[in-house]
Amino acid sequence: MSTYRDDLFDNPERHAAEIRAQLRCGRPKCPCEKPGPNGMTHCPAHEDTNPSLSVSVNGDRVLVYCHANCSQEAVIGALRARGLWWPEKQKKWPSSRRPERRNRMSETILSHNTAPVQEGDALEQLAEYLHMDMESLNRLNLPLHADGQEWVFRFGDGLPEKRRHVGEKKFRWHPEGGNTPPLWPLPDEKLPDVVYLTEGETDGIIARHIGLTAFAVTHGANGALKPEHAEALCGRGVRRVGILFDADEAGRTGAKKLAQVLRKAGLEVGIVNLLEAGLDPLRGEKDLLDLWRRIRNRNTLREKVEAAVKAVTWEAPLIPERAASEDGLRVLTLREWEGKLSTIAQREWLVKGLLQPGWLLVLSARPKVGKSIVAANMATALAGGTPFLNAPTIQSAVLYIDLERFRETIGRFKDLGALESPNIFAPSERIGADMLGALRNLIQQVKEHTDRNVVVFIDTLGDFVRPALRLLKASLNDYDAISDVLQAVRDMAQETGSAFVFVHHTRKARSDLPGEVDLLGSTAITAKFDVLVHLTRADARTLSLVAEGNVISKTTASFTIDKESLQLQVCDPPAKTKAEQAAREIERLLSRHPDGVSRSDMVRYLCEVGLAETTEAAKSLLRRALDGIAVETRRDGHRVLLRLRSWEELLGTSWDQEPTESREEESWVSPF
């Protein structure tokens, strides 16, 4: 039977040292052999092979705490069974150890909408549990008081209380059965732009102790707020929420679930990684309270948490942010409206006739047609200020986000000679429409690097929007979800003055001339884009690019892709009839023989290239082909030769005879 020694309990240092000595395991290399004044030893309440019990002295009290989550009652009971704690009947401290009752004992913990409540022994034990003094706890002015051996978290008159027994993690609501408030303390009607949410009340107290506007989620990691709760925070002025949940699996899962609810309500959200603040799981630490117990300095902990907040990637709302308050709304005349819009997007062409700041362009094609190569060519042209398909460009900065085949994209830029370009950038990590806040930061970084207009290329549209659609439990065919996501992108383009170019797939073509109905996904895609560009194969070598939209005229360009350099080479559109094809072949033949070619040679040539099977068919085809070519005849002895006329000849500067038929200009001019 254990013997209780009053002389042991009279000296807190001797008492703590005795606990450590009695709980040592005797293994030479175990940390319990040299625990130090605040070291760890083996917990007597469970089978503890790795020391998890901290034993320390705070003033005239011995503090014990099991980091393996044993309840305080279990630890005290096990110590008492070994004669290392006061008998159960001895409720008061020995006279030599009884704290001196100060005049401050009548100080109160003030609650919102409640009368002052006097502190009791349970609050002193809470302060010990938090490793805080009562004066610091009082200074926080929280709606908190003690009732016997329970900590009582209050929310105001008429609302239930959340009660937690001293030394236990379980809690209860009193009275039971009513509606329970989701946050503690109850938020005020007006809140700052930035608030923090913690997984429990004790973490919330520590967060407020270091100066953060923090609220505890009363139902823990698994009790994410409801949409109406998140919308209420937004309505009270909150724009950004930092989540300070535990660094364990439950905390991480709960933080992601909570972030989704908050973002759907129009709030920007960041999940703070406490490991960035110095939390050490190998010490058994998992939350903000554990970090505070080790650091025990408000300024130091504040600096560490602020460093972790700076490392956060803030995720934008999943829907456009709320409009201005009613007091901020006013009517504008059409002239004022025009002036406001002019500050959003300057009327300058980044690509002449095709793209302006603040616009969204989608480049669509079937797989393997070459749309990614075309996008890389446009990006290279913009970065260098060189023409794109003969259309002038303004030198711009490019943020290229490849979400499909980034290694191939790097190879394309290398082939195009753009690998060393100072104006082309890429994000360090994968980014989607669920991270618009991070995308906005990237655009700002590019602007600061280059001081130029920014054009964001995203390959592909589906890969970009899919993370946001997954959070909304929607698909690419969901009109409302696609509309919300793309509208948020449009708002960003307008606000930042950046242009966006998306690469997208088309469904199986429904007509010879593709249109907006051929875009894969909801019709909301076509509604939100300023310019739609369709890319198709005109023949085995030639690609046809058709651009249309409400802000540009419908135009078509034809080009080929050089296999070695991947550069685009403008060309004539493919012939639609055999006569047109024959005319082009004859033009090529005559250009190679400037002195002229006989009709009989032309007939044989048409047979050789496979445009005619018989001599008679070739003669008929030649007559129709020559109707579209400006030629003249000349004699070479007994032979009659045909040759092409030059522009000078057609204009009459070198030849007396008038041309019988005008010839189209050979050099291609950009339709944009």
Which pair of structure tokens corresponds to residue 211?
Answer: 């100066």
Residue-wise pLDDT tens digits, 186-223? 999 889 989 999 998 999 999 999 999 999 999 888 87
Domains in the chain: boundaries: 6-81, 108-310, 339-570, 578-650
Q: Are the CB atoms for 378 and 388 separated by under 8 Å?
A: yes
pLDDT value for 290: 92
pLDDT value for 522: 60
Asked whether residue 39 carries a pLDDT value surpassing 90, the answer given is: no
Task: Please name the fold of domain 108-310.
Answer: Dna Topoisomerase Vi A Subunit; Chain: A, domain 2 (3.40.1360)
Q: How do strand 268-271 and strand 240-244 relate by DSSP bridges?
A: parallel
Return the CATH number of 339-570, one of 3.40.50.1950, 1.20.120.1200, 1.20.1250.20, 3.40.50.300.
Answer: 3.40.50.300
Q: Are the CB atoms for 389 and 555 separated by under 8 Å?
A: no
Same fold flag, 108-310 and 578-650 = no
pLDDT class of 119 with cuts at 50, 70, 90: very low
Task: Read off the pTM.
Answer: 0.49
- Radius of gyration (C-alpha) of the chain in whole angstroms: 39
CA distance 67 to 45: 12
| Helical (H) or strand (E) element with 525 | helix 524-528
Which range (2-11, 128-137, 396-405, 544-553) has the least confidence? 2-11
Q: Are the CB atoms for 514 and 506 separated by under 8 Å?
A: yes
pLDDT value for 455: 97
Residue-wise pLDDT tens digits, 531-542? 999 998 887 788
| Mean confidence (pLDDT) of the chain | 81
CA distance 9 to 14: 8
Q: Are the CB atoms for 498 and 358 separated by under 8 Å?
A: yes
Task: Please name the fold of domain 578-650.
Answer: Arc Repressor Mutant, subunit A (1.10.10)
Torsion on CA atoms 520, 521, 526, 528, rounded to nearest 10:
-140
pLDDT value for 204: 95
pLDDT class of 368 with cuts at 50, 70, 90: confident
Residue-wise pLDDT tens digits, 500-557? 999 998 755 455 555 554 555 567 677 889 999 999 888 778 899 999 988 888 888 9
Q: Are the CB atoms for 63 and 56 separated by under 8 Å?
A: yes
Which pair of structure tokens corresponds to residue 372?
Answer: 């990614």
DSSP helix/strand/coil, 197: strand
pLDDT class of 361 with cuts at 50, 70, 90: very high
Higher pLDDT, 375 or 45: 375
DSSP helix/strand/coil, 249: helix
CA-to-CA dists, residue 50 to 16, 37, 64, 66, 79, angstroms: 19, 18, 16, 12, 18
pLDDT class of 671 with cuts at 50, 70, 90: low
Q: Are the CB atoms for 352 and 391 separated by under 8 Å?
A: yes
